[in-house]
Structure 1
Amino acid sequence: MEKVKAFSAWLTKWFTLFVVVWAVFNYFVPATSIWAKSYTNYLLSIVLFGMGLTLSLDDFKRILTQPLMVIVGTVAHFIIMPLVAVALCAIFHLDGMLAVGVILVGCCPSGTSSNVMSFLSRGDVALDVSIGILSTVCAPFMIPLLMQLLASRYVAIPWQSLFLNAVKIVLIPVALGVICHTIFGQKRISKVTPVLPIVSQVAILLIIGVVVAANGPKLFQAASLMAIPVVILHNLCGYGLGFGFSKLMYKVYPKGFRYAQQKAITFEVGMQDSALGATLALTSFAADPIVAVPSTFFSVWHNISGSVLSSWWRNHDDRHNIHPDSDNGEKGSALTAGAAAEAKEPAAAKAE
């Protein structure tokens, strides 16, 4: 099992590089993954079933213990990212199915990668996970609604198909995973959880391979290439607006939106479940696989940007002695906290 954990950690570390290499390989050898086009929904269902296996009822109870931050973070995600997608489509004059693809990835729930980035940046991982759970559960309802409101100007939106596919791909697998966790218990589930990241990453690689293989030469057409700067700006705007929003909420409710929570909301807003976007594109817009291209670009880019941002944030905090649990990222707060801890030690010793 230790070898499995080591391999999982290694694969996670180099996953972005694997995505790029795999995408290039499938561009030149499309037969490698095109066979899986009819199975992308099952592949993502396996990923989300694995996510459900790691969740217990206590994870859902945590949403109830801090409902304001979780609900506000989820609402911010479903407002900021879809509206930014629409704005970018207008600015870059995108239309047709490519615009639909950009808006689709903007309407998706937050990506699981945000949990890792929040952890690496010393953010509030529990809040990050809670927002991710709630946004994922809401996805089958929010995606068709938002797509109908924001993307119907480009094409007739098959909202019924989007809803049914999202329920089958998202809600049912997650629910089954939670049920299995409840029935078998943490001890037994922990025996298989080290394998889950490997299974998830292989499934996501296959989905990306299908998108690349299905679009082939279309990827290098001018219209498709225009999606790259749009996706990059979409993600970066999500980070910026998510952080700005959490800073604003700190002024309203400083007790709940402190520095660690601001980091979590930043990643939860800016990072999307792009694998879900690609899968829904391939199932609900099967005649136009180019709809899945923005989600594929997003999948590669947000892992790169998230890693860079989390690393920068951690180094920035260390350089300015900012305590992870500071109120609002005050410089020198780590030194103040250390001095307070040292002051308590002699007092405790004296009391003994």
Structure 2
Amino acid sequence: MLQRIGHFASKTFLLWVLLVSVIAFTMPSLFSGLGAIIPYLLGIVMLGMGLTIKVSDFKLIFKYPKPVLIGVALQYIVMPVLAYLIAKAFQLPPDIAIGVILVGCCPGGTTSNVMSYIAKANVALSVTITSVSTMLAPVLTPSFMYLFAREWMEVSFASMFMSVTQVVLVPILIGLVVQRFFRGFSEKSEDVLPLVSVVAISLILGTVVAGSRELIIETGLLIFTVVVLHNVLGYATGYVLANVFKLDYPDKKAVSIEVGMQNSGLAVSLAIVHFNPLAAVSGAVFSFVHCVTGPLLARFWAKRAERAEQENRVETSHGSLA
């Protein structure tokens, strides 16, 4: 039963995100006071990631280092650079610019692994890139924020390092320890983790939407336009550069999805702790946007893969008849 509920929650994730966003926007009082627990909600999501990460996820680094290194490098170069260029091109106000750049400097999100599976991409590569980029986040996210965002606002590397470590790295390490020494509990928890993640992410998004309702009304169109552009350019640039490096087709799809989909929940948490609510809006909007564009891109690639398989079967049958 728990497994079925978890699968249902994962498949209908976009519906719950949209529903909670609408409720939060129309009845913000329902989410009042929840802002303080956002880091803990994100910690729960990261704990779930730690409970599901396997040692085998990292073996790919040693077996096929090229696509992993390219994927992680593009993750931390393409999105921050795109965010910086978009902020300059649109002459964004400081708070919005900080929010967009913060999204770009975060690691990939776990949703990308599901999208890679749907797209018939290299799922193992996707999981490895997500895992490696997340483990590197305590150092790389503050570093790139300091590099790209300091012209808009003061950025403290040390305080951001501590925040990312507490919210991301510590829960993941706890999850790994639980998985190692309490295997039975870890295996049973896998059935309920998708549901817990959906609830936690939806509450994070709803809390930010409710707390930033007036700001969204004032700047919503600008933020939405910038976030969509950032997300779509991330997919496109990731794919093009993966093609330049001559990766296999399934690897190119995985890298494209990894680059375009960010851990926007982390961006929201960091924005609230270190900056202000308006900076968190970009992360909240990105959470919604990539949950729309990701499935669309994944289904497009899935249909192309299905057509190619059908054509191969037809050619094979004709060849056998000949």
| SS of structure 1 residue aligned to 2:86 | helix
The superposition leaves residues 198-245 of structure 1 with CA deviations (integer Å, 9 ceiling, x where unpaired) of: 111111111111111221211110x34301011101111011011101
Residue of structure 1 equivalent to 2:87: 89
Residue of structure 1 equivalent to 2:221: 225
Percent identity over the alignment? 35
Shift of 1:262: 0.9
Residue of structure 2 equivalent to 1:191: 188
In the alignment, is residue 121 of structure 1 matched against residue 111 of structure 2? Answer: no
Shift of 1:293: 0.4
Q: Using the alignment, how far apart are the partners of 1:311 and 1:57 within structure 2? A: 29
Alignment of 1:152-301 (within 5 A): 152-185=150-183, 187-221=184-218, 223-250=219-246, 257-285=247-275, 288-301=276-289
Q: Using the alignment, how far apart are the partners of 1:188 and 1:66 within structure 2? A: 32
Partner AA of 1:219 in structure 2: I
Q: Using the alignment, how far apart are the partners of 1:149 and 1:224 within structure 2? A: 27
Partner AA of 1:123 in structure 2: A
Residue of structure 2 equivalent to 1:327: none
Shift of 1:98: 0.7
| 8 Å Cα contact 1:56/1:182 also seen in 2 | no
| 8 Å Cα contact 1:247/1:262 also seen in 2 | yes
Partner AA of 1:148 in structure 2: Y
Q: Using the alignment, how far apart are the partners of 2:103 and 2:314 within structure 1? A: 42
Residue of structure 2 equivalent to 1:349: none
Residue of structure 2 equivalent to 1:103: 101
CA 151–29 in structure 1, closer or farther in 2 if over 3 Å, else same? same
Partner AA of 1:110 in structure 2: G
Q: Using the alignment, how far apart are the partners of 2:305 and 2:63 within structure 1? A: 28
Stretch of structure 1 that moved more, 29-38 or 49-58: 29-38
| SS of structure 2 residue aligned to 1:191 | helix
Candidates 53, 59, 66, aligned match of 1:68:
66
In the alignment, is residue 307 of structure 1 matched against residue 295 of structure 2? Answer: yes
Alignment of 1:8-27 (within 5 A): 8-27=6-25
In the alignment, is residue 52 of structure 1 matched against residue 50 of structure 2? Answer: yes
Q: Give RMSD over aligned pairs.
A: 2.0
Q: Using the alignment, how far apart are the partners of 1:334 and 1:277 within structure 2? A: 45
| 8 Å Cα contact 1:57/1:178 also seen in 2 | no
| SS of structure 2 residue aligned to 1:194 | coil
Q: How many residues align?
A: 321
| 8 Å Cα contact 1:34/1:209 also seen in 2 | no
Q: Using the alignment, how far apart are the partners of 1:275 and 1:86 within structure 2? A: 20
Runs of 5+ unmatched residues, structure 2: none
| 8 Å Cα contact 1:8/1:194 also seen in 2 | yes
| SS of structure 1 residue aligned to 2:209 | helix
Q: Using the alignment, how far apart are the partners of 2:312 and 2:239 within structure 1? A: 20
| SS of structure 2 residue aligned to 1:119 | helix
| SS of structure 2 residue aligned to 1:153 | coil
CA 173–23 in structure 1, closer or farther in 2 if over 3 Å, else same? same
